[in-house]
Structure 1
Amino acid sequence: MQHPLDQHPAALCADLLAQTGENPLLHAACEQASAVWDGDPTRPRGARAALLLCEMKADPDTLLAATLGDPRLRASFDEGLMAKTYGHRIARMVAELHRLNTFEETQAALGNPQQAENIRRLLLSMVSDVRVILIKLAYRLERLRALPLVDNAALRQSVARETLDIFAPLAHRLGLGQLKWELEDLAFRHLEPETYKRIASLLDEKRAEREDYMRKVREQLDRALNFEGIRAKVYGRPKHLYSIFEKMRRKKLSFEQLFDVRALRVQVDNINDCYAALSVVHTLWQAIHSEYDDYIAHPKPNGYQSLHTAVHALEGKTLEVQIRTAAMHDQAELGVAAHWRYKEGSKARGDRFEDDLERLRLALEEGEGGALHARSIYVFTPKGHVIELPQGATPLDLAYSLHTELGHQCKGAKVNARLVPLNTPLKNTDRVELLRASQGTPNREWADAKSGYLVSKGARDKVRAWFKQRERESAREEGHAHWDKTVRRLGLSREQRELLLHKLKFKSETTAWEALGEGQLSHAAFLDAARATLAQAIPPSDEQTLPRRIATAAIPRSLSLEGLQAEPARCCNPMPGDAIVGFITRGQGLRLHRTDCHNLTNLRRTQADRLINVEWPYLQGMAVRAELLILGEDRAEFLSDISHVLSMFKARVNAIDSTRDKRTEQVRMRLKLELPSLDNLQPLIDKLLALNGLDEVRRV
C-alpha cells in the first residue's frame, strides 16, 4: 500500500504503530520524526521508509532504525545520546544510514560497469549490519516515488541513472526482488519516458491485470500437476517493463518476438518429474516448439540446468515455463549460474565476496543482520574512481595497482588532502592523491613485507623485478664492454664472432654479454674460446672461381695493374703479392679485393659482370708496406725481441700502437712497416711467431 506523498507524519506513524503493535521505542522514534516534518514531500521520510519495510516483514530493529534515520533528524544526531535511549546497535545502524544517505561519490561510476561494481562493494563494506543497506534501498525507492514532484530534469535523470547502475543491482544481489523491480521500473520511467510508455501500451494491460492473469495460469497448472500426482511448487510473476526493455535491447528482439513477457517456474522433486511436468504443460496449453530448450540433457557451459518451453496459454497469450528440481534451482540461484550474474551481464570474479554476499542474503531472509568480512577496502582517486585494495593497503599499493611505472616513481601521497608517509594504512572512502617524480625510482626497502610499505605481494614482486632488471642491464653493459675489448684485441671477424657464439652455445651476443657480466661465463673461459676460434680456419667460400663473363668485351680476362688507376679496397686492404680481384667502379677506376675478402661473395652474386681477374706488376726488388697485429704476453724483453727480428729483415717502423690489458696481462701491438721486398714479409712473420710468449702475428 502506497501512502500519499504529502500525508502528515502523524498519520503515517499511526499506521506504522497499528501494524507493528505497541512498541514504546518505535512510538518515541515516530514522535521525533513527526516533530521535524518540514512539509517537503520530495525528501524521503523515515516513517514512509519504515512502512515500506513493514510490508516486507522487516524486523523491529530495522523499522526503528529506518524511522530514526529520517534525514531531517541528521543535523541533531548524536550517536552517544541515541545509544542511551535506543541501544548501541540501533545508534550504530542510524549512524551508518546517515553516512550512506550523504554519500555522493557515485557519479564517476555511472555508465562504467566495473566502477559501479566497486561502488556496490564499497557500500556493503561501509556498514556493520546489512539491514542498513535494506533501509537505504527503501529510502531510495521513496525518493524515486517522489521524483515526479522534482522540477530539475537533470536531477531526475541523475537519480534514475544512479538507481539503475548502483542500487537496483544491489537489491537483486540481496534477493530483494520486490524492491528491485520497482526501482528499475521507476528509474526507467524517468530515463526513457517515451520507451516506457510504448512498452506499457504494447502490453495493453495494467500491472494488476497482468498479475491477475498470472494467478489464473498458475492455479490452472497447479491443478493439472496435482491431478497427475506430480508434487510441485509453481510460482512466478509477470515480467516488468524494464526487464522487457532490457531483453529486447540485449537480444535485439521486437516485442512480438518475446515469449517470456509472462513466466512461470515449476520446481519438482526429481528429473523424471521434470519431464512429466513438461508433458502436462504441453497437454494443457499449445506448445511453441521453436522455443523448447532441454538444458538438463545439455547443460549450459556454466552448469545451468532446466527445461525451458513457451506456450500459448489462456486467452492465447504467450507464457514461458521453466521446470527444474530443487538442486537445479539452488545451482542456478546460488551457484556459478546465479540468475543475477546472467541478468547483469557480468562474470563472477572468483573471489570470496560472492560467498559473503550469499551469507548476507540468507541473513536478510531470516530477518538477521551481518557484515562483509573485511578483506578489502575501497578508496577514491582524485577523479572519483573507486579502487579496490587489500585490507591494510598503503598509498604505494594504490600506485602499483594503477600502473607499475606510477608505483616506481611514487614519491609521496595526500590522503584526504593531507600529506602522509607512503606506508600509511588506508581506510574505506579515503581520497588519495599520488605524488610522482619524473625520474623517481623504487626503494629496495619497499620489497620487504616487514617494512609496511606494500601489503600486496604482486606489488612487492614488481619492485624486485625492477631491481633485477637493472642488475641484468648493468651486467649486460659490463659484459658488452669486455666482449668488445677482447674481440677488438684479437681482431675477430664477423664470421669468427658467430663461430665463437656457437662454440660458447649462446644464441646471441646479448645473452653472451649477460653471461659475462653475471659471471656465468668466466673471463678466462671466454678468452680461451676466443683464442681457439681465432686459430680455427674459417671454411672457404663455396664460390672460388671468378665469373668468366665481364661487362666489356674490350677488357681482357686478366690484366696487369701496371699503368692502371687502381686502389686497394678498405674492407680487406690487399698488398702487392696477394691474390686479388678487380672491381670496376663507376668513374673511380678499379677497387682491388683479396680473393678471400668476405665482401667478394656478395659482389659475385649481385655484380659478377663487373669483376675481373688482375695481377700485380713485376715486383722484384720493390719496397712494400704492411701492417701487422701482434698479440703476446707482457714481459720485459717483449719489445726488444721484436725490434731484433725487425732489424734482421731490415724493416723500417713507420708507426706503432701498443696497449696492455691489466686483467689478462696481454699486450696488443699494431706495427706499420716498410720492407725492402714482399719476399721478406712471410719470413718476418714466421720469425716473430717463433719468439717466446707471442700468441699471434698476422697481417691487418
Structure 2
Amino acid sequence: MVKVREDYPLQADGQVDLERWLNRIAVRVDLHSPDVLKKACLFAKEADETYDREHSWSMRTSSFLTGLAMADILADLKLDQESLVAAVLYRAVREEKTSLEIISKVFGQDIAHLIDGVLRMATISQVINPNHHNQKFSQSHLQLDNIRKMLVSMIDDVRIALIKLAERTFAIRELKDASDERKKRVAREIFDIYAPLAHRLGIGHIKWELEDLSFRYLEPEAYKHIARLLDEKRLQRDEYIHNVTQTLRETLAASGIYAEVKGRAKHIYSIWRKMQRKKLSFHELYDIRAVRVLVPEIKDCYAALGVVHSLWKHIPKEFDDYVATPKENGYRSLHTAVIGPEGKALEVQIRTLAMHEEAELGVCAHWVYKEGARGNKDTGYESKIAWLRQVLEWQEDMGETQMDELADQLTRAIRYERVYVFTRDGHVIDLQAGATPLDFAYSIHTQIGHSCRGAKVNGRIVPLSYKLQTSDQVEILTQKGASPSRDWLLPSLGYLGTSRAQAKVKQWFKLQDRENNISAGREILEKELSRLSLTYKSISLSDFATRLNVKTADDVLAGIGAGDIRPAQVINLVADTLPTVEVEPAASDFISRSRKGQSSGVVIDGIDNIMTHIAGCCRPIPGEPIVGYITHNRGVSVHARACSDLLRLQEEEPQRVIEVHWQQTVDAVQSVNIAVKAWDRTGLLRDISGVLANEHVNVTGVNTQSNKQDGTAQMQITVEVKTLEQLGRVLAKIEQQPNVISARRLTTVS
C-alpha cells in the first residue's frame, strides 16, 4: 500500500508554521546555511501572493506549498540544502511567477542551474503530449526506452533527476480530486517514465509509491480487487508475521546473530505484476507473507540464511543472491522462499543495514556533499555523473528484457555518444552523435531519405549537413521523384554521419548500376571460363543461381560485377559438372594400378607410394573439387579444380594433370584465409570470434584494419577447417553478424 503524506505544520490562523517546518527538515538534512532555505521559502510565498494580487485570483495549487512538499520528499532522501532550495523555488519559476534570471541573482547560478535542468525535463511531456490526451508514446517499448534515454542525455547532475521525481511524486499524490482524464494522463506518464527512473536510481520507497498510485488510476478495478484481497485476512496475516518474526529473531540470537527482523509491506502493483507474469492466483504467490532481516555485516547475511533454511524447508528455484551479483541499479540482498509455519509459503529477505539504506535511498546514499567539496569538480563529482549515466541506462523495467538486443546496442555505441530528437508528432528518435537531418530521414524510412530535399529543425530551415542536438524537433522536406546525390557519400561535405544511412545510399546507387554490373560480371566470368576452355554460351548459369542465393542468371552476373559474388564460386560450380579427365599414359607408366590413401587425405587414381601435398596457392579443403599435378621433384601437388595456377600449369603440361579425390573420411585440417569486410563497430571482432568458437574452428592468425574515412573495417583471419561444408557454414554465419558486408575465402582463385 502507498504511503500518505503528512500535513504541513500549521499556526493557529491556518498558515504554515515555517519555523516548525524548517526544524523538521533540519532533523533530517544538514543545513549548512539554514537562513538560505528560509529565504527561499519566504521568496516563494511572496511570489505566490504577488501573482495572486496582480491577477485578482488564486491558482488552483500554491507553488509555495508545492515547493515545501517537494523539499519534504527530498529531505527523506537526505539530499543537500541546495536541492531543497531549488525544490522550494521550482514551481514559482515553472508557473512564471519569477524567472531564472532573478533566481540566479538572488540565490546564485548553482540553484538556477538545478531549476533549469528540471524545467528541461518537463519539456519532454509537453512535446510528447502537446494536447494532453495523445498517449501514443505509451504504446511502444522502443519509444519509452528512447524517451528515458533522452532524459539521461538532458541530466548533468543527479539532483536534477531527484527534484523531478519529488515533483512527480507530489503531483500524483494530489490527483485524488482531479478529472478522470487528468488522472490517467499523469499516471501514464509517471508509470512509464518516472517509476522506472526511481527504480534505476535505486530509490525503493519512491518507486513503490509511484507504481502503486499510477496503477490505482490506470487499472482501478484490478487495484481495488487486490487491495480487497490483502485487506480480507490482514489480521490473520499480521498475527502470522508477528509469530514468524519473533521465532526468527530468537533463533538468530541463539546462533549469535543479532538482527532486526520485521514484516515487509507488500505493494499492490508488484503483486499484480507477479500474478500476470507467473500466471498465478493471489493465493498461490510465495511473497504475500514476507519478512526482512537486517544484520550488521555481509558474513551475517549468509549465516542468517543458514538459520532460515534450518528452521523451514526451502522452496526450490526460489533463491536469489543479489549480494554476490547485485542488480543493475546496485540493489543487494539475499532473497529466499520457504514453507513456513502452518505449511504457508513465506518470503525472507536478508541484507545488511547499509544495504537496506542503499535499497531505500539508492543513488542518494552515495551522494554526499561535504563543506569543503561544494562546487569542486575535482572531488569525484564527474565520476559520480558518469556512474549516474550508467545507472540510468534502463531498458527492461516495463516488460520482458531483450538482453541480446540491449548488449548489441551498448557494444555498437558509447553510451554518451547519442542524440535524441523529436519527430514532428512527438516520437523520439535515437541517433548517433554527429547525425544530420539526412541520417534522421533514413532512420524514419529509406524512401524518405532518398526523396529528402531539405529539413526544418525547431521550425527553421537548416542545411542537410546540420549536426542534430538532443531535444531538436526535426521535419523532413521531401520531393516526389527525387533521388540521392553522390555528394551525400563524400565525408568532406558532412551530409551523412551514420554508417547505416551511408549503406542505404550506396545500396540505392548499386541498384541503379545494375545494368553496368551485369555487363561487367559477364566480361569477368567469360575470362575465367576461357581458362577452362569453356564459353559463356556452353554453360547454363541459371542452374547455379539458387546455389548462390540469387534468383536468375542476371542476378549472378550483377553480383559478380558488384563484387558480391566471387567468380571462383561460379567456376567451382561449373567445374563440378565437367567430365572426369583421363590420365595421360606418359605421366603414369611408372606407377602401378592401385589405390592408396595418402597422408594428405587424398586418394590418387592408379598411384601407389608417392608423396602428395596440398598446394599452397589455393589450399583446397576436403569436399572441394580437386585435381592432382605431378611435379618434377615433390610428388603430386593437390589443387582446387578452379585454381588459376593449376589452369596455367594445365595449359603448359596437360599430361601431368591427374584425377584425385578425397578419402571417405578425412581427419586432417587445412589452413584457410578468410577476408571479412564490415561497417566498423565496437565488438565486431568479438562477435566474429564467437562464431568461430561456436563452430569449433581454430584461429591461427588475425589482421584487422579500420578505415576512418568510410567507416569500414577489413579483417583477414587465418583458420583451420576440416571440410568445405564447415567453411561454408562459418562464412554464412559471419555474414549474418550485424554490420558485416561480406565474408569470403582468400585464395589465388579469382
Bin for the TM-score computed over the shorter chain: 0.5 to 0.7
Give the whole-Å Cα distance in 1 for the aligned partners of 2:554 and 2:519: 9
Equivalent pair of 1:211/1:238 in contact (CA under 8 Å): no
Letter in 1 for 2:455: A
Pick the aligned partner of 2:280 from 233, 244, 253. 253
Secondary structure of 1:461's aligned partner: helix
2:484 matched to which residue of 1? Answer: 442
Secondary structure of 1:467's aligned partner: helix
2:208 matched to which residue of 1? Answer: 181
Secondary structure of 1:147's aligned partner: coil
Q: 1:263 deviation in Å? A: 3.1
Give 1:678-693 correspondences, 5 Å limit. Answer: none
Give the whole-Å Cα distance in 2 for the aligned partners of 1:59 and 1:392: 36
1:127 matched to which residue of 2? Answer: 155
The runs of 5 or more residues in structure 2 that have no matched partner are 27-32, 50-57, 129-134, 363-386, 527-533, 579-750
Q: Does residue 376 of the first structure (1) align with residue 418 of the second (2)?
A: yes
1:190 matched to which residue of 2? Answer: 217
- Deviations for 1:463-509, whole angstroms, at most 9, x for unmatched residues? 2333344334422157679999xxxxxxx99984539999xx99974
Q: Does residue 2 of the first structure (1) align with residue 13 of the second (2)?
A: no
Q: Does residue 155 of the first structure (1) align with residue 155 of the second (2)?
A: no
Letter in 2 for 1:46: G
- Deviations for 1:279-298, whole angstroms, at most 9, x for unmatched residues? 522443x54x65554567xx
Secondary structure of 2:16's aligned partner: helix
Give the whole-Å Cα distance in 2 for the aligned partners of 1:343 and 1:214: 31
Identity of aligned residues (%): 39
1:350 matched to which residue of 2? Answer: 407
Equivalent pair of 1:185/1:240 in contact (CA under 8 Å): yes
Further displaced range: 437-446 or 424-433: 437-446
1:500–1:97 distance in 2 versus 1, CA, 3 Å: closer
Equivalent pair of 1:71/1:98 in contact (CA under 8 Å): no
Q: Does residue 31 of the first structure (1) align with residue 42 of the second (2)?
A: yes
2:166 matched to which residue of 1? Answer: 138
Q: 1:215 deviation in Å? A: 7.8
Give the whole-Å Cα distance in 1 for the aligned partners of 2:501 and 2:272: 44
Give the whole-Å Cα distance in 2 for the aligned partners of 1:316 and 1:139: 44
Give 1:231-310 correspondences, 5 Å limit. Answer: 237-264=264-291, 277-284=304-311, 286-287=312-313, 293=318, 308-310=336-338
Further displaced range: 5-14 or 69-78: 5-14
Give the whole-Å Cα distance in 1 for the aligned partners of 2:524 and 2:139: 58
Equivalent pair of 1:172/1:340 in contact (CA under 8 Å): no
Equivalent pair of 2:420/2:428 in contact (CA under 8 Å): yes
Give the whole-Å Cα distance in 1 for the aligned partners of 2:218 and 2:299: 46
Give the whole-Å Cα distance in 2 for the aligned partners of 1:521 and 1:204: 73
Equivalent pair of 1:5/1:146 in contact (CA under 8 Å): no
Give 1:373-522 correspondences, 5 Å limit. Answer: 374-476=416-518, 496-498=538-540, 509-510=553-554, 513-514=557-558
Letter in 2 for 1:84: K
Q: 1:196 deviation in Å? A: 1.8
Letter in 1 for 2:219: E
Give the whole-Å Cα distance in 1 for the aligned partners of 2:525 and 2:423: 49
1:310–1:421 distance in 2 versus 1, CA, 3 Å: same
- Deviations for 1:360-416, whole angstroms, at most 9, x for unmatched residues? xxxxxxxxxxxx974222111122111111223211111122233322222211112
Give 1:575-614 correspondences, 5 Å limit. Answer: none
Q: 1:83 deviation in Å? A: 1.8
Pick the aligned partner of 1:95 from 108, 116, 119. 116
Secondary structure of 2:421's aligned partner: strand
Give the whole-Å Cα distance in 2 for the aligned partners of 1:500 and 1:139: 68
Give the whole-Å Cα distance in 2 for the aligned partners of 1:144 and 1:160: 7
Give the whole-Å Cα distance in 2 for the aligned partners of 1:47 and 1:93: 16
Give the whole-Å Cα distance in 1 for the aligned partners of 2:5 and 2:562: 78
Q: Does residue 105 of the first structure (1) align with residue 127 of the second (2)?
A: yes
1:243–1:268 distance in 2 versus 1, CA, 3 Å: same
Further displaced range: 247-256 or 303-312: 303-312
Letter in 1 for 2:126: E
Give the whole-Å Cα distance in 2 for the aligned partners of 1:166 and 1:311: 37
Paired residue total: 493
Give the whole-Å Cα distance in 1 for the aligned partners of 2:542 and 2:159: 75
Give the whole-Å Cα distance in 2 for the aligned partners of 1:19 and 1:86: 22
Q: 1:131 deviation in Å? A: 1.0
The runs of 5 or more residues in structure 1 that have no matched partner are 357-371, 485-491, 534-700
Q: 1:69 deviation in Å? A: 0.2
1:51 matched to which residue of 2? Answer: 72
Secondary structure of 2:513's aligned partner: helix
Equivalent pair of 1:411/1:435 in contact (CA under 8 Å): yes
Q: Does residue 115 of the first structure (1) align with residue 143 of the second (2)?
A: yes
Give 1 or 2 for the bigger CA radius of gyration. Answer: 1
- Deviations for 1:592-649, whole angstroms, at most 9, x for unmatched residues? xxxxxxxxxxxxxxxxxxxxxxxxxxxxxxxxxxxxxxxxxxxxxxxxxxxxxxxxxx
Letter in 2 for 1:94: I
Letter in 1 for 2:138: L
1:389–1:402 distance in 2 versus 1, CA, 3 Å: same
2:530 matched to which residue of 1? Answer: none
Q: 1:119 deviation in Å? A: 1.3
Give the whole-Å Cα distance in 1 for the aligned partners of 2:561 and 2:74: 73
1:190–1:206 distance in 2 versus 1, CA, 3 Å: farther
1:271–1:41 distance in 2 versus 1, CA, 3 Å: closer
Secondary structure of 1:184's aligned partner: helix
Give 1:598-677 correspondences, 5 Å limit. Answer: none
Equivalent pair of 2:184/2:218 in contact (CA under 8 Å): yes
Letter in 2 for 1:30: C
Give the whole-Å Cα distance in 2 for the aligned partners of 1:459 and 1:386: 18
Give the whole-Å Cα distance in 2 for the aligned partners of 1:251 and 1:521: 52
Give the whole-Å Cα distance in 2 for the aligned partners of 1:305 and 1:24: 40
**Under a length normalisation based on structure 2, what TM-score does the superposition of the two structures give?**
0.55
Give the whole-Å Cα distance in 2 for the aligned partners of 1:392 and 1:226: 61
Equivalent pair of 2:291/2:349 in contact (CA under 8 Å): yes
- Deviations for 1:428-467, whole angstroms, at most 9, x for unmatched residues? 2221111223322222232233322222123223323333
1:518–1:158 distance in 2 versus 1, CA, 3 Å: closer
Letter in 2 for 1:119: I
Give the whole-Å Cα distance in 1 for the aligned partners of 2:8 and 2:261: 36
Letter in 2 for 1:143: A
Give the whole-Å Cα distance in 2 for the aligned partners of 1:412 and 1:339: 35
Equivalent pair of 1:118/1:386 in contact (CA under 8 Å): yes
Secondary structure of 1:2's aligned partner: coil
2:667 matched to which residue of 1? Answer: none
- Deviations for 1:528-574, whole angstroms, at most 9, x for unmatched residues? x9xxx9xxxxxxxxxxxxxxxxxxxxxxxxxxxxxxxxxxxxxxxxx
1:135–1:270 distance in 2 versus 1, CA, 3 Å: closer
Equivalent pair of 2:337/2:348 in contact (CA under 8 Å): yes
2:600 matched to which residue of 1? Answer: none
Secondary structure of 2:540's aligned partner: helix
2:746 matched to which residue of 1? Answer: none
Give the whole-Å Cα distance in 1 for the aligned partners of 2:417 and 2:226: 43
1:293–1:275 distance in 2 versus 1, CA, 3 Å: farther
Q: 1:255 deviation in Å? A: 0.7
